[in-house]
Structure 1
Amino acid sequence: MPTQPPLNFEGIERQPLRAFTEKAYLDYSMYVILDRALPHIGDGLKPVQRRIVYAMSELGLSAASKHKKSARTIGDVIGKFHPHGDSAAYEAMVLMAQSFSYRYPLVDGQGNFGSPDDPKSFAAMRYTESRLTKYASLLLSELGQGTVDWQLNFDGTLEEPVLLPSRVPNVLLNGATGIAVGMATDVPPHNLREVVAACVKLIDDPDTTLGDLCKSIKGPDYPTGAEIISSKEEIRQIYKTGNGSIRARAVYEMEDGDIVLTQLPYQVSGSRIQEQIAAQMQAKKLPMVEDVRDESDHEHPTRIVIVPRSNRVDVEQLMAHLFATTDLERTYRVNLNIIGLDGRPRVMDLKSVLQEWLTFRFDTVTRRLKWRLDKVNARLHILDGLLAAYLNLDEVIRIIRREEEPKPVLMKRFDLSEIQAEAILETKLRHLAKLEEMKIRGEQKELAEERDDLEKILKSKAKLNKLVRDELVADAETFGDDRKSRIVERAAAQAIDETELVTVEPVTVVLSERGWVRSAKGHELDPATLSYKTGDSFQAAARGRSTQQAVFLDSTGRAYSLLAHTLPSARGQGEPLSGRIDPPEGATFAGVMIGDPEDRWVVASDAGYGFVVKLEELFSRNKAGKAVLKVPDGSGVLAPSAVPKVEGALLCAVSSDGKLLAFPVGDLPELPRGKGNKIFGLNAKKVESREEFLAGIAVVSPGQNLLVRSGERKMTLKYAELKDYRGERAQRGAVLPRGWRKVERLEVESKEGG
């Protein structure tokens, strides 16, 4: 087998992979920033938008022409100037045609160009037709007047403009959004009249302050209207730094007791609003709303009707809640990151944007005037030659007839330039009439006057300022309109507290031994009569109101809280608490509490320690709960007991060997968390071996009975009979009657004999 010759890398560039990848990524980043994602200060367009507008102008699709199939336009765009995907180019064109996306659309679409509910629901480009709008002429009217530089297209066969000679600050008028590599831009749209008024102020006085500019430009002006509720100071700060956020809110009015939404924030879908409101209604979080429906049509593009349940509903409070919980109020990021005249992207303040655009505009107008002056001088030069020919017409005719090369002879005889001589030779016989001489002299006079005017403007800064100023004012008069987004300073909306949205009614929260929970209406229910799953049984119950929080205490001493009205109905068997919260593995639930935040409860471990705690100390938004009671190793947690708001309440504690102790509940300290103080004098060694423990606690007030339960049997002790078991806290108490030495738990009856 012949051996392979060694590879020869001579003449091939070699560089480290790190250097190559760094340069490649940097090149890609700069391409995305400069040639895809960010707008230019001059015309406010990204390259794809600029190429679409230019290609349409080249196809003759002005506002006065007939619409042409969009596929034809996109074919020209991607075939001649923008070698990318047709769907991306078409989507960019559609965006420029949507009146709800662009404040001043550049494309006039015919067909389905999407809707505010779904901007991307537009028809395929083979079905739609398009042409440029009248506003687009502000970007194109000066294109052929030497105002901009030109560059070769991607394959070098055609030329395209580097920028379009915009007559107005389109970068502010239509805004822009884009994400590049390492930077993004969010320029909100503005009102043409306001922006032009600010430009005029800067032309008249370059030292105009930002505060004076903000008197003209009051804030963004979104195409869908709605209210801008940010404060003037917030808006001014955004224009000062080029960064910040704007809050916009839907507009509504009342009609026959119904709430009618007539304007939605920018890029907010009406169907999405309906979905959000309907979801809250289904979740019973909007009991004051009876119905929501969409009555939008061609005459009323936005008309969403919200029907209150009654005329007693506080409409302002309801709308504030909807503003806070739906897209009826939106926050928009503002980041005035724009490619400047130096070709570098940077975040600009409002004054810098206007100043830099005015620099671009003055340069454009100057180039236009010079281009026109050159054209005028060139025409005058030709007219001078033609006039010389008419004054010596017979001699000119003689030379043309007799000379083989008449051009150099004419140039020498009448001291003409080559251009003048060529113009004379190309003159048609019909133009040799006497009247043509008069026309030439008249044209000379007009052009001479125009030349003098152009030279005066170019030499005078004041005249140039006046020209630019007058053109801006005229364009604002022609294309300007009233502001759509009213600026109304309002406080941020507040959602209605969830408890205020729920009907207040008595409920009984029932907890089973296996940790299943449910909520029954009313307080008359006997939890023991409910059906439980096989192997499960009643553990604890607490009575309160639907708007209160139910607090569950587990065997590790952690507390968890859930709103009572969110618990499943007692018509079924409930659902496991572990599906709502996240207790430690192996933990069981000892009891449930419900009431006002200021209510006090006794919590205790069966090791004989406990304390009084306010219910609000047990509230927790965390699914993992809140550590409250410190439980000694090997011990359990007892069902908590409510402390009545009356004098003389006794804390009753019973041990596993049938001893009952009653003492004033005030003797037990009030703590937010901890192990607590000794309640019952248990033998520490027997507690460790579980030979002795606390079987239950209950707080009994005058007028209540204590129920001592042992299996199916129960013994009732009236409040007065508890005197036989009175003692000091931490004592061992008195022995219960024979047959009641195996107590399982203590309960409280609300009325003696009840």
Structure 2
Amino acid sequence: MEKMIEEQIIRTEYSELMQKSYIDYAMSVIIARALPDVRDGLKPVQRRTLYDMYELGIKYDRPYRKCARIVGDTMGKYHPHGDSSIYEALVVMAQEFKKGLPLVDGHGNFGSIEGDGAAAMRYTEARLQKITQESFLADLDKNVVDFVSNFDETEKEPEVLPVRIPNLLINGADGIAVGMVTSIPPHNLAEVIDAEVAMIKNPKLTTEQLMEFIQGPDFPTGGIVVNKDELINIYKTGTGKIKLRGKVEIEKDKGGKSRIVITEIPYTMMGANIGKFLNDVAGLIETKKTNDIVDIANHSSKEGIRIVLELKKNADAENLINMLYKKTRLEDTFGVNMLSVSDGKPETLGVRAILEHHIDFQFELSTRKYKTLLKKELEKKEIQEGLIKACDVIDLIIEILRGSKNQKQVKECLIHGVTEGIKFKSAASKKAAAKLNFTEAQATAILEMRLYKLIGLEIEALMKEHEATLKNIASYEDILNNYNSMARVIIKELEGIKKEYSIPRRTVIENAEEAVYEEKKIEETEVVFMMDKFGYAKIVDVAAYERNREAADAENKYVLTCMNTDKICIFTDSGKQHLLKVLDIPGRKFRDKGTPIDNLCNYSSGEERIIFVECLQKIKSSVLLFATKMGMIKQVEGAEFDVSKRTIAATKLQEEDELVFVSCMPDAEQIVLQTADGVFLRFLLSEIPQKKKGAVGVRGIRLTEGDSLETVHYLDGQGEQTVKYKEKDVYLNKLRIGKRDTKGSKARI
């Protein structure tokens, strides 16, 4: 038994097994889930959904069917990956604001351009679009593509759909695989078809020549592509960045006021980003970046986008538009990565390569289609010739039928001229019957022929039908044997699709200058920053503070006079410095409640404690003293804290240490360190070295076990200075002057 178990153990390197398993998983996601096929431009879920609708007979001229029915059938037969992924794919194929060419005709709530989701699939209905039926699913009965078994081998599904147009370019694609992503912009159907037709006629066309037909992307949301000159490189390599802008108009009313109206948005601004754009504009107003916008309104509807910004009288609208381009997503970037499955593997392709693959696919489809049609016509020809021949000897055939005992005898006679066992009226008839040599298919057709086919007009119709069949055979053989003939057929189909389904271009392609926004210089004024013990901050006028100075100082923990162009530095016990622009702090009336400091900067009240707040201008011209719980101390030049980042490490802390004291050093000569246990150490400030902010510092006091540094006092040497320790006064100026890094003395109580 032990030997048997031992033989079943397969020893393998774990890392190799994991690597193989991960690669298999990654390739499965890449090929079978996330990336479209270069031939039909569809991901597997899209292909399976469309094929299922075709199988269910949900055609463009039939009634709509519940989406839940389509999703359930697709999941049960072809795509066992959950109903949400199937329904999402179905919804996207029906959304005309996402697809340049919607493939599904949706009925009900299929979402909106502003990010509203579609209704549940039990409420919505769908059917195929006419173009999907005619250009994506036609000819499936003509053996044009291979069929493969589904996941449980109970059904057959097409490996690829026989799509007659370059759908990968027309509808674009987006998808995230394992370690790779695809992002292909949509294009104009008429332009792409013109480019493909030109390439069929001249396969040596360059990308530059193809771009005489394809101007650039054509997004369903319109907008403006502003880097036209960069498109050639993007289309050659299949990667790059397209710069997009929304379409903006300036409207003026009779009173001299003007408004900025956004009628088209960048493709990337669809959905939740419209709401974000409105919030960003509101943020520009709140932070006083502009005072010229008095109202924001979103009048968008099913008819289209209309976002209105009402302006003050005599506002510089052009400058404001440039500000929107610079500060919001009204100008955005669409990252292009034309990655698709080509010959069973992922590959990044340029426009020329995509068209090449599709043209090859078209010739393969046409070859298989016309081979199937030719085979059917040849079979028809054989039958027709047999029937025509039979009409000439119909009397003999009737005699054979009447003289035979069974159908087998008749067939043997018609095919091989076997006359044994058949009664003939004359020896001449028997001799004629022996010369018959119909094929088996012809003999079967003769036996199945109805008597009315012998009417003169029916025979004439058969002759005409035979002529048509011969003409078809000649035509099909010409198409199959002649590249130019097949090319003409493909071009005719493409031009027919273009004529019926083309729409005008929606996206403008141009070279635009970089948006230049001249920020209005902010008038420098002196303001007062206030923050109470609960962390609520506000900015008030100096005059308001002066009128309420006593109350302001009593109610607030920090009160700083600074310029409105300054920044506030917040130091915390975790050793961080948070920077906050004064302009970003909402101005309030004196009695109004402030805004939580957590909402204004990266400070988190749940994770850290504020120990020092000061204006950056004052800090820059000062030297800062840092002291930690474990007694480490140092001086740092204030200029080191003038940084662009909103949060930095203000000092380096040892493990389990924390910052307990930071201040701008006053004009003093001595310092006193006070511990939690009431130990005081007085020494000269000159003993504290100046360090960089990234340094730990030096030891200021030797702490006994369990004790910690609590605070720091400065001595200016003038008069008595006292502090309270356990309700008793400690006279700092009477303490013995010691040395840094000594133990200090316990306060007498």
State the TM-score, normalizing by the size of structure 2: 0.74
What's the counterpart of residue 299 of structure 2? 295
What's the counterpart of residue 563 of structure 1? 581
Q: 1:511 and 1:232 mapped to 2: Cα distance?
A: 51
Q: 1:146 and 1:586 mapped to 2: Cα distance?
A: 74
**What is the aligned counterpart of 2:244 among 228, 241, 248?**
248
What's the counterpart of residue 131 of structure 2? 135
Structure 1: where are the runs of 5+ without partners?
607-612, 628-633, 640-652, 657-673, 676-689, 696-708, 712-754
Count of matched residue positions in the alignment of Structure 1 and Structure 2? 629
What's the counterpart of residue 531 of structure 1? 551
What's the counterpart of residue 86 of structure 1? 83
What's the counterpart of residue 280 of structure 2? 276
What's the counterpart of residue 407 of structure 1? 411
What's the counterpart of residue 646 of structure 1? none
The question of whether the paired residues in 2 share the 8 Å contact of 1:505 and 1:522 is answered with no
Q: Secondary structure at the match of 2:23?
A: helix
**Equivalences for residues 14-29 of structure 1 within 5 A:** 14-16=10-12, 18=14, 19-29=16-26
Q: Residues 29 and 538 of structure 1: is their aligned pair in 2 closer, same or farther, counting only changes over 3 Å?
A: closer
Q: 1:692 and 1:109 mapped to 2: Cα distance?
A: 80
Deviation at 1:132, TM superposition (A): 0.5
Q: 1:512 and 1:87 mapped to 2: Cα distance?
A: 50
Q: Residues 158 and 429 of structure 1: is their aligned pair in 2 closer, same or farther, counting only changes over 3 Å?
A: farther
Q: Quick one: which amino acid aligns to residue 312 of structure 1? A: N
Q: Deviations over 1:622-681 (max 9, x none)?
A: 544889xxxxxx998456xxxxxxxxxxxxx9999xxxxxxxxxxxxxxxxx99xxxxxx
Q: 1:126 and 1:381 mapped to 2: Cα distance?
A: 53
Q: Deviations over 1:241-262 (max 9, x none)?
A: 1112222222122233222221
What's the counterpart of residue 734 of structure 1? none
Deviation at 1:100, TM superposition (A): 1.1
Q: 1:516 and 1:164 mapped to 2: Cα distance?
A: 62
**Equivalences for residues 610-621 of structure 1 within 5 A:** 618=642, 620-621=644-645
**Equivalences for residues 63-102 of structure 1 within 5 A:** 63-102=60-99
Q: Deviations over 1:141-161 (max 9, x none)?
A: 222222111122333333221
Q: Secondary structure at the match of 2:130?
A: coil
Q: Deviations over 1:367-388 (max 9, x none)?
A: 1122111111111111111111
**What is the aligned counterpart of 1:419 among 416, 429, 441?**
441
**What is the aligned counterpart of 2:187 among 180, 187, 190?**
190
The question of whether the paired residues in 2 share the 8 Å contact of 1:591 and 1:638 is answered with no
Q: 2:211 and 2:378 mapped to 1: Cα distance?
A: 44
The question of whether the paired residues in 1 share the 8 Å contact of 2:577 and 2:647 is answered with no
Q: Secondary structure at the match of 1:221?
A: coil
The question of whether the paired residues in 2 share the 8 Å contact of 1:561 and 1:618 is answered with no
Q: Quick one: which amino acid aligns to residue 313 of structure 1? A: A
Moved more, 264-273 or 388-397: 264-273
1:347 pairs with 2:348: yes
Q: Residues 522 and 452 of structure 1: is their aligned pair in 2 closer, same or farther, counting only changes over 3 Å?
A: same
The question of whether the paired residues in 1 share the 8 Å contact of 2:288 and 2:583 is answered with no
Q: 1:189 and 1:461 mapped to 2: Cα distance?
A: 30
Q: Quick one: which amino acid aligns to residue 357 of structure 1? A: H
What's the counterpart of residue 319 of structure 1? 321
Q: 1:407 and 1:117 mapped to 2: Cα distance?
A: 73
Q: Secondary structure at the match of 2:336?
A: strand
Moved more, 28-37 or 154-163: 154-163
Deviation at 1:134, TM superposition (A): 1.4
Q: Secondary structure at the match of 2:472?
A: helix
1:447 pairs with 2:469: yes
Q: Residues 465 and 538 of structure 1: is their aligned pair in 2 closer, same or farther, counting only changes over 3 Å?
A: closer
**Equivalences for residues 627-706 of structure 1 within 5 A:** 637=664
Q: Secondary structure at the match of 2:278?
A: helix
**What is the aligned counterpart of 2:452 among 406, 430, 452?**
430
The question of whether the paired residues in 1 share the 8 Å contact of 2:109 and 2:124 is answered with yes
Q: 1:261 and 1:281 mapped to 2: Cα distance?
A: 18
**What is the aligned counterpart of 1:332 among 331, 334, 344?**
334
Moved more, 209-218 or 386-395: 209-218
1:36 pairs with 2:47: no
What's the counterpart of residue 465 of structure 1? 487
What's the counterpart of residue 48 of structure 1? 45
The question of whether the paired residues in 2 share the 8 Å contact of 1:581 and 1:625 is answered with no
Q: Quick one: which amino acid aligns to residue 124 of structure 1? A: A
Q: Residues 529 and 538 of structure 1: is their aligned pair in 2 closer, same or farther, counting only changes over 3 Å?
A: farther
Deviation at 1:200, TM superposition (A): 1.9
**Equivalences for residues 362-377 of structure 1 within 5 A:** 362-377=363-378
Q: 1:186 and 1:293 mapped to 2: Cα distance?
A: 32
**Equivalences for residues 698-717 of structure 1 within 5 A:** none
The question of whether the paired residues in 1 share the 8 Å contact of 2:579 and 2:601 is answered with no
Q: Quick one: which amino acid aligns to residue 234 of structure 1? A: E
**What is the aligned counterpart of 2:118 among 110, 122, 127?**
122
Q: 2:571 and 2:19 mapped to 1: Cα distance?
A: 59
The question of whether the paired residues in 1 share the 8 Å contact of 2:165 and 2:193 is answered with yes
**What is the aligned counterpart of 2:541 among 493, 511, 521?**
521
The question of whether the paired residues in 1 share the 8 Å contact of 2:620 and 2:641 is answered with no
Q: Deviations over 1:81-104 (max 9, x none)?
A: 223322321221111111112110
Structure 2: where are the runs of 5+ without partners?
418-435, 626-636, 652-660, 671-689, 692-712, 722-749
Q: Quick one: which amino acid aligns to residue 46 of structure 2? A: Q
Deviation at 1:592, TM superposition (A): 4.9
Q: 2:714 and 2:331 mapped to 1: Cα distance?
A: 64
1:216 pairs with 2:216: no
Deviation at 1:20, TM superposition (A): 4.3
What's the counterpart of residue 164 of structure 2? 167
Q: Secondary structure at the match of 2:443?
A: helix
Q: Quick one: which amino acid aligns to residue 318 of structure 1? A: L
Q: 2:103 and 2:21 mapped to 1: Cα distance?
A: 35
CA RMSD of superposed structures (Å)? 4.3
Deviation at 1:441, TM superposition (A): 1.3
Q: Deviations over 1:509-548 (max 9, x none)?
A: 6899999986442579659944355598998745x4x345
Moved more, 381-390 or 53-62: 53-62
Q: Quick one: which amino acid aligns to residue 241 of structure 1? A: T
Q: Residues 132 and 52 of structure 1: is their aligned pair in 2 closer, same or farther, counting only changes over 3 Å?
A: same
Q: Residues 604 and 347 of structure 1: is their aligned pair in 2 closer, same or farther, counting only changes over 3 Å?
A: closer
Q: Deviations over 1:163-200 (max 9, x none)?
A: 11111111111111112222221121111111112112
Identical pairs, percent: 32
The question of whether the paired residues in 2 share the 8 Å contact of 1:380 and 1:444 is answered with yes
Q: 1:71 and 1:438 mapped to 2: Cα distance?
A: 53
Q: Residues 547 and 58 of structure 1: is their aligned pair in 2 closer, same or farther, counting only changes over 3 Å?
A: same
Q: Quick one: which amino acid aligns to residue 239 of structure 1? A: Y
What's the counterpart of residue 306 of structure 1? 309
Q: Quick one: which amino acid aligns to residue 14 of structure 1? A: I
Deviation at 1:391, TM superposition (A): 0.7
Q: Quick one: which amino acid aligns to residue 369 of structure 2? A: R
The question of whether the paired residues in 1 share the 8 Å contact of 2:569 and 2:613 is answered with no
Q: 2:602 and 2:73 mapped to 1: Cα distance?
A: 61
Q: 2:68 and 2:577 mapped to 1: Cα distance?
A: 66
Deviation at 1:442, TM superposition (A): 0.8
Q: Deviations over 1:374-428 (max 9, x none)?
A: 1111111111111111111111112122222311211124211111111111112
The question of whether the paired residues in 1 share the 8 Å contact of 2:532 and 2:555 is answered with no
What's the counterpart of residue 678 of structure 2? none
The question of whether the paired residues in 2 share the 8 Å contact of 1:539 and 1:590 is answered with no
Q: 1:89 and 1:616 mapped to 2: Cα distance?
A: 56
State the TM-score, normalizing by the size of structure 1: 0.73
Q: Secondary structure at the match of 2:141?
A: coil
Q: Secondary structure at the match of 1:571?
A: coil
Deviation at 1:201, TM superposition (A): 2.2
**What is the aligned counterpart of 1:157 among 151, 154, 158?**
154
